[in-house]
Amino acid sequence: MSVITQDQVRAQLRTVKDPELHKDLISLEMVRHVAIDGSRVLIDIELTTPACPLKQRIKSDVEQAVRRIEGVQGVEIRWSAEVRSSREDTTQLPGVTNIVAVGAGKGGVGKSMAAVLLAYGLQRKGASVGIMDADVYGPSIPTMTGIEGARPPMPENLMVPPTAGDVKIMSIGFMVDRERPLIWRGPMTHSVITQFLGQVDWGELDYLIVDLPPGTGDVPLSLAQLIPMTGSVVVCTPQDIALADARRAVRMYEQLNVPCLGIIENMSYYLCPKCGHRDEPFDHGGARVAARELGVPFLGEIPLNARIRIYGDGGTPEKAFTDTEDHLSAAINSVVTNMAGQVSIRNRLQAAPTLSIE
């Protein structure tokens, strides 16, 4: 009976490529440990995100490759994840690995809800996550996360963000009356963003999701000037007018040297919960086409569904991931994992072009 060696196993793992990065697992330093117990091989693989969209494909490819070694009768994989970063300047928010801005070219497309779903989707998969509500004119994150009325403590001149479902949250909504309009010029909004970056104890986070105001105004400019971001996500609906504004948002991020991680098509279609009939009240597929034309990834579709509104109004966004309507939770999970995958690509390849998801 042939004796299996670690060199044989590692040689086979060099034939297994990460499906997104197109490099082998050994070169990417994803194989952390190999152990052999008779005819069984134990492999520790470290993913670049706990929300890896192609984990099952990697598992299948590793098993097939290692089983080609004579004498191997079993392959066991133990998974871990370490979220990497491409941020060069970490003097601000040194404990935050990735900063992802979520924006939209216009209001009313469900941008804030998409930001919340991204944050809670990542947290449910094991990542440490925070949300910075930078939509200073319409701070809706406290309501959507069920902690409206929270007052952040401030020991040692640093605000401690309240948590909801293990997600850290900071919003101007904690500091002003709900009925009070914020009639501010640009310098005031810049001051708030500066405070949220420099005077909040975010601690250690894998992802900080930043909910931006709609449009291409002061806040995204301030954020890009103040701190290096991993990338941006643009949310739109399928109709032409929303897509035109989304295109402008993507171009704005390009001018600010913030890579676009992808486009989400929200309210993409409606599936009747009683009869299963599918309708497309705002058209369908426009965001995918726009993403292809702009050369950025398409992250997926979120359906128009009353339950999302109920979860947002009720401050229980985590329920979207355990919803009994399988198509709803599956669609949202797909968007989350695709976005996490694009962050990993950005961090691995640095300035290399991102890959479209079809």
Task: Look over the chain and give the mean of its residue pLDDT values, rounded to a whole number.
Answer: 88
User: Where residue 183 falls among pLDDT bands split at 50, 70, 90?
Assistant: low
- Averaged pLDDT, 22-50: 94
Q: What domains does the chain contain, in order, with CATH numbers?
A: 6-81 (3.30.300.130), 96-349 (3.40.50.300)
**Confidence band for 47, pLDDT divided at 50, 70 and 90:** very high
Distance, in Å, from the CA atom of 28 to the CA atom of 48, rounded to the nearest integer, reads 10
The pLDDT value given to residue 11: 96
Predicted local confidence at residue 149, as pLDDT: 86
Average pLDDT of the segment spanning 287-301: 93
Separation in Å, CA 282 to CA 10, 201, 238, 286, 328? 51, 41, 6, 10, 18
* pLDDT tens digits, one per residue of 319-357: 999 876 778 999 999 999 999 999 999 887 663 433 333
Cα separation of 324 and 308, whole Å? 12
Please state the rounded mean pLDDT for residues 108-127: 95
